[in-house]
Structure 1
Amino acid sequence: MQHLTDGAVELAPEFTLAYQAWLPEGVKSLEEAAPDRRILSWPGWLDNSGSMEPIAPFFVKKGFAVAAFDPPGCGRSSHHANCAWYHDFEEAHYIMMLADRLGWGAEPFILMSHSRGSNISAFTAAAFPHRVRAVILFESSLGMAGTYITNRRETGPIWGSFSESIAMDRKNRTRTPRKFEEFEEAVQHNVGNPAFPKSREIGQAIVLRHLISHPEGGLTFGHDVRTYGQNQSRFIDEETNVAFLRALRAPVINIYGSQTSMSELVKYSTDEESAEAYQKTYNWHAVPSSVFLPYVRDVRKRTATVKDFTPVIIEDAHHHLHGDVPEEVASAVLPWLEDRLRQPLDTKPPIDLRGAAGDVWMSASAQHMLSPSTASAESAALSEVTSNEGSANEANGAAEIIAENIEVEVDGLRLGAQRWGKASSMNRVLAWPDAWDSSGSFQQLAQRAVAASPNGDLCVVAVDPPGIGLSNNAPFDWGFGMSETATLLLRVADALGWEDPFALWGHGFGATVALYAAGGLPSKISGVVAFDAQELTIPTEWAPAEVYYSYLERQDEPRAVPRFARREELISRLQTDPNFPKSSVTANAIASRMAESDADGSAWTLNVDARVFRVRKPVLETPGATFQDILAGIEAPVLAVFPVSSARATNGPPSQRKRLFADLACIRSPLTTIHVNGSSHAHSCDAAHMLPVVRDWVIQLMSVRRMNLASPSALSQDSVSKL
């Protein structure tokens, strides 16, 4: 047997995942291993590839090659960028990237993983059912981290909420790594963990890959302190869990230790018996007794959902049973594995349910923005623009309030921003534009708002999102999703020194992000104005295929951003977006941050990271039921403005709009919805008329407060205005 201890795969510059490999006799590399003898292993929470060191040799003796990885932030693998989060769904992508980089091609392989890693492996097999031959799990709950139980509104979530996740993330960023004076102290600390006791063999193997020198002398664990909180910003509901498990084609074996609470889930014939036993043996978190029965029901339903599921209980074994009693575990797995490898596997890829439902309409805008430029095409397109709505109002009514360009350093990202009004003002607004726009989207409205405020006592800061305008590109592991962006938005306010509550403006994707942020940290938000909010949740049954198809998009090389001979042609490209047409003033304001010329002025291009034009995000967006829970946490009043001619209302499938209004109905704070004439960018193209809408809403709120109307229903109305 050959044991390789220092393998590494670079997934992107400065992002490498380390691994150990065990190869059978005569096999010189992982790529040479027979397709049905390749095993990729993912360890549990806070563990690394050392977790598989005791058990791997038993599989190698039977001709299997085992590649065990240190997950991001652990062992010798790279940490995520400071702005990124540790997501289970994204690690499913990493597993497939690693298999591809190892030279395994499209041939199905075997997954063998433990605890959190086993949950991730099960969902990887569901998202990529044609690429996984069999799934070997050690102590799996078959649920992604942060899963809500079915009746969460009565019992509360086991793993907390998005707001608690934000608080935990902030706490973990300030944690001081534990210091050990000597190696033996670190080993005993790992072995003696009361929640996860383990043998010295596996405990030492894990510690050997974790330890680094402490800055003050001695030793410390080198894993990212943020992983302590397992800071999942994307909580999912049980329906999504089940949708993934229903998509699983590969056979699954789950090995439980009889001394763990997990085994109680499969020992008994009834949910009630299992729940009673589970509660007695559960020794990690302080969990209310009310959640045990519904949680047990959910987990037992998961096991029943998997088409080919084999549970095995190893007597007198604990959570790290694959390292404590590896021979006994291998003896249970290997006969099952050889039997299942003789069965055929359906190798057809998943069906694209989003595409089948016609919910890829925004790809037309992406194609438009990235198409090669020709002067004749730009002129012809511009001549077809039938409405330059509001351009006269913009040009004649814009106030002479000059923006100050500022930079904000947040978690390793340098974000460009514009500030209108007094930086010292306590009346503050933080604005986030749509996914492909710059902060210039808010120029017209911010100028008018500051000019109209008493003594100009208002401060509006609008941000260029990562990869847009004067902000630098996000790293490889940035998810481009709601939760990451909402967290970043809140940290921008921290970087600006805004300790008191502030208001949020958002447009499109930015409007949804603003709502997400308001639900995540309600004590800091005084009000939300959401212009043409975008529905980002998806039907539950789409979830598994979305992970697969987002992986395909992620693997494609981003298309080059087109170059233009003249700036006017670039402006024309922005104006003539088939879904999001803009007036010339709005297009110029957005381009003022994004248009970049060559040194000699011979060509112009959009300063945009082409990754923002992907239809699907690298990680699955928050499911609808979870998003509704986040919206229910909003405490500030909300004004939702819907332009009647927006492509989100006219081009997207009706079901998408219905989901959005169902989500908004979950907001318990004062909610006002207004429908206005115009397209998506009405807040900019018709800012002269939009400002009174916002102003009147604020005045109405002040009146309600003066009258001490405590009922949220006082403003829960749909006042339709045709402006």
Structure 2
Amino acid sequence: MPPRELTIATPHLRLAAKEWGDAALPLLLAIHGWLDNAASFDALAPLLAAHFHVVAIDLPGHGRSQHRPAGVRYHFVDYLDDVLAAADALGWKKFSLLGHSLGGGIASFVAAAFPERVEKLFLIEVAGAVSAPVEKSLGQLQKGIVQSRENASKALRVFANVEIAVAARRKAGDLSDAAARALVLRGTREVEGGWSWSSDPRLMPASPQRFSEDQVLAILAGVQAPTLFVLAEPMAMQIPESLMLARAAQIPKLSLVRLPGNHHLHLEDARPVAAAMLDFLDSSTAPLQTTTTGSKPLIEP
């Protein structure tokens, strides 16, 4: 059964979403990565639809969702409000979360801050927010403000046709044609002269503020939900592997699975990821364990 398009009216923004599965099934809210969109789950969600009612949202400024108002930044912590507002609008009091990349960071922080609302947590490639050493705080602040001011006058690239946009996205994310096409078809809009990204240009500047790694670890320790963490093998992220494994060790009820693939392994070959998720559902919660069966990702901001 094809996915159904959904519009979620939150108090401040209208979010677009896709949904799979019967509404009577356990609830699973899926959150995509930076500059991706809900199509990130086009391959995985159908494999879960017999077990979950899956709703994959376009984050604000992404895909077909509204952009934030003029003068408002895309701060990482504000995405937590967006996720909770979407769940509230859906009438979901308790649900599971699935997050990839930036979405994994958001999902893990929602689960830590509001454990009473999250039943199970599924993370793909990222747990926690991007961090920076405290001694780099001033430089980060300057960089974020300068880039934001410079970016305000920049126009989005216009592609003569969708195929050129697909090729650009494929190159930027080291993606297959099918994976890039899924993201591009949901992430572009027709404009004068061709096609352009539908994402908000204000997503591009660096964040002026970062968490410290100690803060990230302290927050992740608050996750109470049974958690499955899927990492590509070999490691496919800019974040050091040792750092990500240290984050995993902070989450009390976590199982770690390593699967062959790149940063978008859930979109490129969803079957092993779905199998790991369904095996996790069938198994009892266990302490940290690793099972082993690279492109540079987009994990900003």
TM value normalised by structure 1: 0.38
| Mapping for residues 179-258 of structure 1, pairs under 5 Å | 179-193=158-172, 196-215=173-192, 217-229=193-205, 231-258=206-233
Q: Counterpart of 1:65? A: 53
Match of 1:148 among 117, 129, 132: 132
- Give 1:214 shift: 2.3
Alpha carbons 1:72, 1:79 under 8 Å: kept = yes
Distance 1:340 1:179 in 2: 50
Secondary structure (helix, strand or coil) at the match of 1:322 reads helix
Q: Counterpart of 1:682? A: none
2:91 equivalent to 1:114: no
How many residues end up aligned between the 2 structures? 286
Letter paired with 1:43: H
Alpha carbons 1:181, 1:219 under 8 Å: kept = yes
Letter paired with 1:86: Y
Distance 2:278 2:161 in 1: 39
- Give 1:339 shift: 2.6
Match of 2:17 among 16, 19, 22: 19
- Give 1:143 shift: 2.8
2:63 equivalent to 1:79: no
- Give 1:301 shift: 2.7
Match of 2:269 among 325, 346, 349: 325
Distance 1:44 1:303 in 2: 19
Q: 1:296 to 1:192 in 2, by over 3 A?
A: closer
Alpha carbons 2:144, 2:207 under 8 Å: kept = yes
- Give 1:298 shift: 4.3
Secondary structure (helix, strand or coil) at the match of 1:161 reads helix
Distance 2:33 2:212 in 1: 22
Q: Counterpart of 2:3? A: 3
Alpha carbons 2:60, 2:66 under 8 Å: kept = yes
Distance 1:123 1:87 in 2: 14
Alpha carbons 2:43, 2:270 under 8 Å: kept = yes
- What percent identity do the matched residue pairs reach? 29
Alpha carbons 1:133, 1:341 under 8 Å: kept = no
Secondary structure (helix, strand or coil) at the match of 1:168 reads helix
Distance 2:56 2:245 in 1: 29
Secondary structure (helix, strand or coil) at the match of 2:104 reads helix
Alpha carbons 2:32, 2:102 under 8 Å: kept = yes
Alpha carbons 2:140, 2:207 under 8 Å: kept = no
- Give 1:202 shift: 2.3
- Give 1:309 shift: 1.7
Alpha carbons 2:15, 2:65 under 8 Å: kept = yes
Distance 1:176 1:89 in 2: 27
Secondary structure (helix, strand or coil) at the match of 1:130 reads helix
Alpha carbons 1:199, 1:323 under 8 Å: kept = no
Alpha carbons 2:121, 2:228 under 8 Å: kept = yes
Match of 1:308 among 253, 265, 268: 253
Q: 1:198 to 1:109 in 2, by over 3 A?
A: same
- Alignment deviations for residues 258-284 of structure 1 (CA, whole Å, 9 cap, x no partner): 24444xxxxxxxxxxxxxxxxxxx5xx
Q: 1:313 to 1:109 in 2, by over 3 A?
A: same
Secondary structure (helix, strand or coil) at the match of 2:65 reads coil
- Give 1:329 shift: 1.3
| Mapping for residues 564-643 of structure 1, pairs under 5 Å | none
Q: 1:296 to 1:204 in 2, by over 3 A?
A: closer
2:32 equivalent to 1:43: yes
Q: Which runs of 5+ in 2 are unaligned?
A: 287-301
Distance 2:66 2:284 in 1: 35
Distance 1:312 1:138 in 2: 10
Mark the structure with the bigger radius of gyration.
1
- Alignment deviations for residues 495-542 of structure 1 (CA, whole Å, 9 cap, x no partner): xxxxxxxxxxxxxxxxxxxxxxxxxxxxxxxxxxxxxxxxxxxxxxxx
Letter paired with 2:231: Y
Q: Counterpart of 1:54? A: 43
Letter paired with 1:314: L
- Give 1:2 shift: 5.0
- Alignment deviations for residues 424-447 of structure 1 (CA, whole Å, 9 cap, x no partner): xxxxxxxxxxxxxxxxxxxxxxxx
| Mapping for residues 236-315 of structure 1, pairs under 5 Å | 236-262=211-237, 282=238, 298-315=243-260
Q: 1:296 to 1:198 in 2, by over 3 A?
A: closer
Distance 2:221 2:65 in 1: 32
Q: Which runs of 4+ in 1 moved over 4 A?
A: 295-298
Letter paired with 1:49: A
- Alignment deviations for residues 120-157 of structure 1 (CA, whole Å, 9 cap, x no partner): 100010011011011111111x2313x223xx43xx46
Match of 1:336 among 257, 274, 280: 280
| Mapping for residues 164-183 of structure 1, pairs under 5 Å | 164-183=143-162
TM value normalised by structure 2: 0.88
Distance 2:123 2:267 in 1: 13
- Give 1:200 shift: 2.3
| Mapping for residues 129-144 of structure 1, pairs under 5 Å | 129-140=115-126, 142-144=127-129
- Alignment deviations for residues 675-704 of structure 1 (CA, whole Å, 9 cap, x no partner): xxxxxxxxxxxxxxxxxxxxxxxxxxxxxx
Q: Counterpart of 2:294? A: none
Alpha carbons 1:134, 1:340 under 8 Å: kept = no
Distance 1:83 1:303 in 2: 36
Alpha carbons 1:49, 1:69 under 8 Å: kept = yes
Alpha carbons 1:197, 1:320 under 8 Å: kept = no
- Give 1:341 shift: 8.3
- Give 1:340 shift: 5.1
Q: 1:313 to 1:300 in 2, by over 3 A?
A: closer
Distance 2:241 2:257 in 1: 18
Letter paired with 1:173: A
- Give 1:64 shift: 1.1
Alpha carbons 1:139, 1:254 under 8 Å: kept = yes
Secondary structure (helix, strand or coil) at the match of 2:255 reads strand
